[in-house]
Amino acid sequence: MIGRVALPCPVYLDIMFNNLYLYLQLIVTLILKKALMFKIIVFAILSLFSNILFADAVLQVRKVDDNVYALVGELSQRSKDNLANNSTHGVIVTDDGVILIDSGGSYLGAEHIHKVIQTITDKPIKIVINTGGQDHRWLGNEYYQKLGARIIASSYAQDDQKSRADSQMSRLDNLIGDSLKNTNPVFATETFDSIKPIELGKVKLELHYFGPAHTVGDIIAWMPNKRIMFAGDIVFNNRMLGIGPARNFQSWIDVFEKMASFKPSHIVPGHGDPSNLQEATKNTYQYLVFLKSKIAEILDKDGDMQDALKIDQSKYNYLKNHESIAGKNAQWVFQQMEFDY
């Protein structure tokens, strides 16, 4: 029979053990209180950013509307850790599968995007749209081709991808090294010139090409029933845009105006957080118009490239990467406008 045996115990030992027990109880209570406080603080911080559903080192999931998400990548340069996904991607979940806007900058980047999508839904990826010719829009295509997805781009984007595939691959080799493994340039299986309607699981999308913007083949994907615009590299939020390989800032301004004429309620940009037309206008359109007007002032006074570099762009200092990009943007706009004067 097992039972407690009362051993004779001196009174002072009893008091000491009792005190020890009380101290231990106090320490445990304090630890639990601290853990609770920590949980409360974390919860409060998360509540502030309640639209962040899932976050890891590379992509954050933002809910835009029911079944519509933005995967927001880092604003800085492509790196081994971000797998060249320094970009924002769109996800639409339908009854019949997923539409992914932009496949990522590498094979591993595409695989990572898929893993993040699987935190939202287990439905298969059926359609991938490349909104342009920049690496993070399309170099993950092969991964999704293997999953059997349709891949769609404008014919201009595809020409751009074909002509720049080698240079993009060698640049990425320098920037992300081993993270580029398994990446092979695979081009869209379907292309279009101007407009292409798409339908999957009762969700209707329209793809529109308006002209060169950041790259020559940039398109928008428009979801009319929810007034959601996936704008690719036509819209930059949170970080300063770079006058891209299209080198045609005036066309970019025109393309933005055509995009804005749809009066979208939500815009999922190519870089940065999902937002609205007002934010996109402030961060992208007004910056382009600002540069144009400042360069025009310089050219009116027979100024030169050095004057372009001296333009005070400090009101856009809130945009990330402005230190490294602002001067280059002024130079590109100057070079282009110089021909027209």
By C-beta, is 94 or 135 nearer to Zn ion? 135
The one-letter amino acid code at 73 reads G
User: Nearest approach, Cβ of 38 to Zn ion (angstroms)?
Assistant: 38
CB 208 within 8 A of CB 78: no
By C-beta, is 97 or 209 nearer to Zn ion? 209
Cα angle 163, 167, 170; round to 5 = 150
By C-beta, is 134 or 145 nearer to Zn ion? 134
CB 139 within 8 A of CB 168: yes
The one-letter amino acid code at 306 reads Q
Instruction: Out of 183, 229, 233, 308, name the contact with Zn ion by CB under 5 A.
Output: 233
Q: Does 135 engage in binding with Zn ion (CB under 5 A)?
A: no
The one-letter amino acid code at 331 reads Q
Dihedral pair phi/psi, residue 331, rounded to 5°: -65, -45
Residues 249-278 within binding reach of Zn ion (CB under 5 A): 270
Distance CA 48, CA 64 (A): 16
By C-beta, is 84 or 337 nearer to Zn ion? 84
User: Nearest approach, Cβ of 92 to Zn ion (angstroms)?
Assistant: 20
Instruction: Compute the half-sphere exposure of residue 104: CA atoms within 13 Å on the CB side of its CA.
Output: 34
User: Nearest approach, Cβ of 39 to Zn ion (angstroms)?
Assistant: 38
User: Nearest approach, Cβ of 261 to Zn ion (angstroms)?
Assistant: 23
User: Nearest approach, Cβ of 338 to Zn ion (angstroms)?
Assistant: 26
Residues 40-69 within binding reach of Zn ion (CB under 5 A): none
Residue 175: other Cβ atoms inside 10 A: 18
By C-beta, is 123 or 322 nearer to Zn ion? 322
Distance CA 94, CA 259 (A): 24
User: Nearest approach, Cβ of 242 to Zn ion (angstroms)?
Assistant: 8
Distance CA 156, CA 33 (A): 61
Residues 66-105 within binding reach of Zn ion (CB under 5 A): none
Question: Which residue's C-beta sits nearest to Zn ion?
Answer: 233
Instruction: Out of 106, 134, 154, 248, name the contact with Zn ion by CB under 5 A.
Output: 134
Closest CA to 120 of 60, 61, 181: 61
By C-beta, is 134 or 329 nearer to Zn ion? 134
Distance CA 87, CA 208 (A): 20
By C-beta, is 191 or 237 nearer to Zn ion? 237
User: Nearest approach, Cβ of 51 to Zn ion (angstroms)?
Assistant: 22
Using the contact rule CB under 5 A, the part of the chain among 33-41, 61-69, 231-239, 301-309 near Zn ion is 231-239
CA 339 to chain centre: 34
Residues 271-330 within binding reach of Zn ion (CB under 5 A): none
Bridge-partner residues for 61, per DSSP?
Answer: 54, 71
By C-beta, is 106 or 134 nearer to Zn ion? 134
Residue 63: other Cβ atoms inside 10 A: 16
Binding site for Zn ion (CB under 5 A): 134, 233, 270
